[in-house]
Chain A
C-alpha cells in the first residue's frame, strides 16, 4: 500500500484528463504498457507486477475491460511475500467470476494458505473464498474452514472471517455444512464472548435457519440470551458500543434469526424475549443526534418486525401501531419512511386496520413530502389501507395529488386510483366521476384499459347512462381536453346522448357540433369512434333532421377516400347504411351488455404488485365485502373469454374471407369494397365499433364468419371425439388430441390420434406449396375394425386428395393412405379428417385437425442486413405491412422466442436489429396464388414487461401479411397444448364442413344472428 508511486502518478494523470476521450487514451496507453510488461517476464519484478495489477483494478473500476490480466492477478496469489500475495488475493476477488478457470489453478495455494500456520495468509485466503468461492471451493475447503471457525487457538480476526466464509460456501453448496454435526457447534458458537466473532456467527446462523430452522432449534434460546446480554445487561466492550447502543448490528441479526423460527414454544424463553422487546419498544426515543437515532431505530424496527412475526398479545400490537403512528409524524425522514413501510406490512395483521385508519390524515400529508421515497411509501400504504369506508377520501386525495405529482409517479398513481375507485366505489356515479377526472387530469397516463372499463360499466348499468352522458357532455365544454376524453365522451354520447335530448345544449345537432369541433385535433385512431358516434346521433334523431343529416353525410363523404382503411370503410358503410332507414336503426341499436368479467385492471395490478403488497391486498380483498363492481368470477358466455382485443380494428382479427362472404349477403349493396383486402369484417365492425375485451360480438362470430384464433369457442379436449350414436364406453382416448396436433404443427411425423383400438400416425413431406402426407392407420386389436371411413373436410384454401381407405382394417394390421395437399392461398384455416370406425357394435368417430398449417408452407430463409432492410423499407405500410401491439403474450426469454420462431420456419436473423431486445426474422411462403413470397417480421419486446410486444409483419400480399401476423400471434399467445377448438372455419357457406360445436349461445339472444336474419 505504501510506496506505489506508479499507481499514484497514473491516478493523477487520469484526474487531469479533461474529458472521457483523453481518459480513454491515457488508459489505452497504460494497458498497452502493462501488456508488454506482462509478456516480458524477465524484467517483471514482483513489485512491478503488484503495481500493474493494482492499476488494472483501478482501470477496471473506470469501466475498461482488463480480462487479459486475470492470469497475472491469480499468479500473484502464490507469491511468497506478503505484499504481492495480498494484491493477488484482493484483485482476484474483485475481478474474477466464481466459474473462472484460473481459480481452479489457484485452489491448492488457497488451501495451503488456509491450513498453513500464517494467520495473515489465512485471512487473505478466507477473504478470497468468502467473496468469490464457488462450488469447487466449497467441496474442497469446507472442513478446513469449519476447523478454523471452532478452533480455540485462532484469533478472533481469523475466526470471524471463517464464519462468513463458511456462510458463502454453504450458499454455494448446502452440503458444505453437515446439519447433524454442526447444530451443536453452532449453538456453542453463540456463547462466544468476542462480539466480532459473534456477529459473524449470527449471520451464519441466519443463513442456516432460513434453510432449516428445525435442526437449529437449540440456537433459539441462545439468540434470546444474546439479546438479553446486549440490551438488558449492556455487557459489551466499549469499542462495540455504537453511539451508546450496544452493537445494533448484532441485536438486529439476532432478532432476524429469531424471525425464521415459526414460534417460540418454551414459555420462559418467550417471556424473556418479550421482556427484551418491551424494553426496546418503550425505551427508544427520537433524539437530536442523527447517528444515534439511526442506530436505536435500527434495533427498534427490527423489534417491531419480530413482534409482528411472533403474533404478540393485542396490547403489544397496539403499542406497536401507536409507535408507528408516532414515527410517521416525526421530523427525521428516515424514521418517517420506515414508519410508513412498516405500517404497510402491519396491514397484513388483522385487528389493527382501524387503528391505522386513525392516522389517515397524517399519511395523506406524507403524500406531499419533499422526498419521493416517502411519497411512494405513503402511496403504497394508502393503497393498502383503502376500503369501502375510506375509499372516497383516499381516492379524492390521490386525484388531487395527481395534478402536482412528478411524471415518474403519475402512471402508478392513476392506475392505483382507478383500481381503488373500481374496487371500493360506494356508488357507480362516483366511479364515473373519478375516472373522468383521471382522464381529465392525467390523460396521458390513463391506459386504454381504464376507459374501456368505464364504458363497460356504463353499458351494463342503465341507471348510470343518463348521468354518464351528462358528465361527458360537461367535459366537452372545456377548452382543451385530452384525446382519451374525446374518445370516451364520443362513445358515451353516441350510445346515450339521446337520453339528454331535453336538456339545453344536448340536442343531437348540438352534440354533433361540439364533438365535431374536436375532430381536427384528434389522431387517426379516434376518428373512427367519432364517425360511429355521428352515425348513432343521426340514427337517434327522430323525426330526421335534414340539416344534421346533410352535415353528417358531408363528413362521411369527406372520409370516403381517406387513406386509412378503417376510417374509409366506416365512412362508406355508415353513409350507405344511413340511407336504409329501418335497417339502419337495427344495425345501430344500442350496444348489448358486456359479459361480466374480472377487471383487467385489477388483474394487472395483482400481477405487478410485489409479494408483500400483494398478500396484503389479497388479504384485504378477502375481508372486504366490496361493492358489486368487482366481478369475481368471469362468466364465459361461450367458452372461455377471449383475450383482450384491440379496439377499433377489432374486425381485423377476422378472416378476410368473411368480408367477402358478409359483403355478398346484403345483395351487393356495399359491393364497392374490394373483397380481397383483408379489411375488417363488416358484421363485427357494425356490431362492435368498440370491442372492449370480448364484447358480445365474439359470440356472434362463430355463427357467421370463419373464426380467428380468438373468437373460437373453446371445447374440452375430450369432446373432439364425437360419438355418433351413443357414448362408447369401451373406447378410451390415449393422449391429448390437441397436444398431438400442436406437436405435429412443428414436426413432420408423429402420432395424430390414438385410442384403445386404433392409432393414426402421420408422416409428411413439404415442397413449396405442395405437400405429401401419409396416414398410417393401425388396428391394435386382435379383431378387425370395420366400417372404417376417412373423409377430408378441406378448407377453401387447400386442395386435398386422400387415397381411398379400405373399409376394414384386419387385426394387428396397418393401412397406409397417401394424402396430397396443395396450398392455394394463405390462410390459417385447417383441414379436418373425419375418421370413423366400428368396433364390435360401437361406432367411434373422431374429427381430427390435419397439421397442414400455414407454417408448413414456409421455408426457412436467413437474410443479411443488406438483403433485409431494402425489402423492409419497400413495404411501406398497411395492408402490406401490418403492426400490432400484442398483449398477454406468454413470457419468453429472447433466445426461447427465437427458437420458437425458428421452429415454425420463420428464421430469426441475429444481429440485424441494433436493439438487443428486438428480433427480426424472414421466411418464404409458398402458395399457388402468391408463388414464392418473401415475408419479413420484426418483434420488439419490452424487457420490463415480457407479456407484451410489438409485432410488425410484412410481405408482398395483404392477405398473407395478415394471416402470418395472426399466425405468429397465436403462437406467442397460446401455450401450444391448450384446448383450442378442434373445429376450424365453420363457414356459413354451402360446404358446411364439420360438426358445429353445440353452441350455448342461443340465436334469439344473439344480436349477430338477428342482424344476419335482417340482411
Chain B
C-alpha cells in the first residue's frame, strides 16, 4: 500500500502532500521535513531508493524522482514493487506534462485543485488506480468539462450512461 505521495521543491516547500493513513497535521509536517532533509543531501546519479524506517516505521520504503526544481516522492510498504512505484511517479509526471504542456513548478503551485484531481485518478486509497496517462487525462478532462458546464449554465450534470442495476 502507498502510504504517502509528496511533491516538494528543492527548498523543501511542500507543493502537494497526500497521506493515505490518517496523520495529524504536525506529524505530516514532521514527515515532510524529515524526507526533505534526507533528499536534499543526496547527490545526483545515485539510486532512487531511500531507507526511511526511522520516519515511517519498519517495512516502509521510499522512492523519489528529482525533476528540475521538484522532488516527487512515494512512500509505501513491502507489498509494493519499488521499481513499479518509480514507474508510477513517471506516469504522474507525464500526465502533468500533458495537462499543462511542459509542466513547471508554477503550474503545480497555482493549479492546486487540479493537482488533487489528477492524483486522485492515479492513486486511490493507497492503491494504484490507473497507469495509463491517456486514461487519466480523459477522466480529468471530463471533470473540467463538468465544472465549466455547471459554472456557466448551472446545469445539473446528466447521467453519462443509463443505470440498469439491481
Contact = CB atoms under 8 A, between A and B. Distances in A.
Given A117-B163, A334-B49, A196 B130 contact: yes
Contacts of B144: 1-2
Contacts of A196: 129-132, 135
A973 interface: no
Contact of A334 (B26, B47, B59, B132): B47
A922 interface: no
Contacts of B43: 370-371
Contact of A2 (B17, B47, B84, B148): B148
Interface in A123-145: 127, 130-132
A418 to B, nearest CB: 22
Contact of A119 (B46, B51, B112, B159): B159
B157 A333 contact: no
A54 B112 CA distance: 8
Interface in B17-73: 17-18, 20, 22, 25-26, 28-29, 43, 45-51, 58-59
Nearest to A152: B164
A21 to B, nearest CB: 16
A8 to B, nearest CB: 5
A616 interface: no
B87 A167 contact: no
Contact of A1 (B81, B114, B139): B114
A12 B159 CA distance: 37
Interface string B152-166: 001011111111111
A693 interface: no
B151 A298 contact: no
B45 to A, nearest CB: 7
A913 to B, nearest CB: 19
Interface in A236-266: 239-240, 242, 247-250, 252-253, 256
A374 B47 contact: yes
A168 interface: yes
Interface string B116-160: 110010001101111111110001001110111011001011111
B147 A295 contact: no
B104 interface: no
A707 to B, nearest CB: 40
Nearest to B133: A239
A171 to B, nearest CB: 9
Interface residues of B, number: 71
A638 interface: no
A58 interface: yes
A2 B45 CA distance: 39
Nearest to B88: A249
A299 B109 CA distance: 34
Contacts of A11: 109-110, 112
Nearest to B28: A63
Given A147-B165, A248-B84, A338-B83, A64 B25 contact: yes
Q: Find the residue from A7, A66, A373 having the highest chain B CB count within 10 A.
A: A373
A176 B109 CA distance: 39
A253 to B, nearest CB: 8
Contact of A239 (B22, B86, B135): B135
B116 A203 contact: no
Contacts of A167: 125, 127
B90 interface: yes
Nearest to A165: B125
A168 B45 CA distance: 37
B111 interface: yes
B82 A98 contact: no
Interface string A137-164: 0000000000110010111010011001
B146 A120 contact: yes
A82 interface: yes
Interface string A332-350: 0110111000000000000
Contact of A337 (B25, B47, B143, B157): B47
Contacts of A64: 25
Nearest to B86: A294
Contact of A63 (B29, B130, B161): B29
A80 interface: yes
A302 interface: yes
Contacts of A371: 43, 46-47
Q: Find the residue from A61, A168, A256 having the highest chain B CB count within 10 A.
A: A61
A178 to B, nearest CB: 18
Given A167-B125, A203-B127, A240-B132, A373 B47 contact: yes
A373 B129 contact: no
A239 B131 CA distance: 9
A164 B157 CA distance: 25
28 contacts: A1-B147, A2-B144, A12-B110, A15-B109, A61-B17, A62-B14, A86-B143, A90-B120, A96-B22, A131-B125, A147-B165, A153-B164, A155-B161, A160-B129, A164-B124, A167-B125, A239-B135, A249-B87, A249-B88, A250-B131, A294-B86, A294-B87, A297-B83, A302-B81, A333-B45, A338-B82, A371-B43, A374-B46
Interface of A: 1-4, 7-8, 11-12, 15, 54, 57-58, 60-66, 80-83, 86-87, 90, 94, 96-98, 115-120, 127, 130-132, 147-148, 151, 153-155, 157, 160-161, 164-165, 167-168, 195-196, 199-200, 203, 206, 210, 239-240, 242, 247-250, 252-253, 256, 291, 294-295, 297-298, 301-302, 333-334, 336-338, 370-371, 373-374, 376, 610
Can you list the 5 inter-chain pairs with the closest CB atoms, starting with the nearest?
Answer: A298-B83, A371-B46, A130-B125, A333-B47, A117-B163
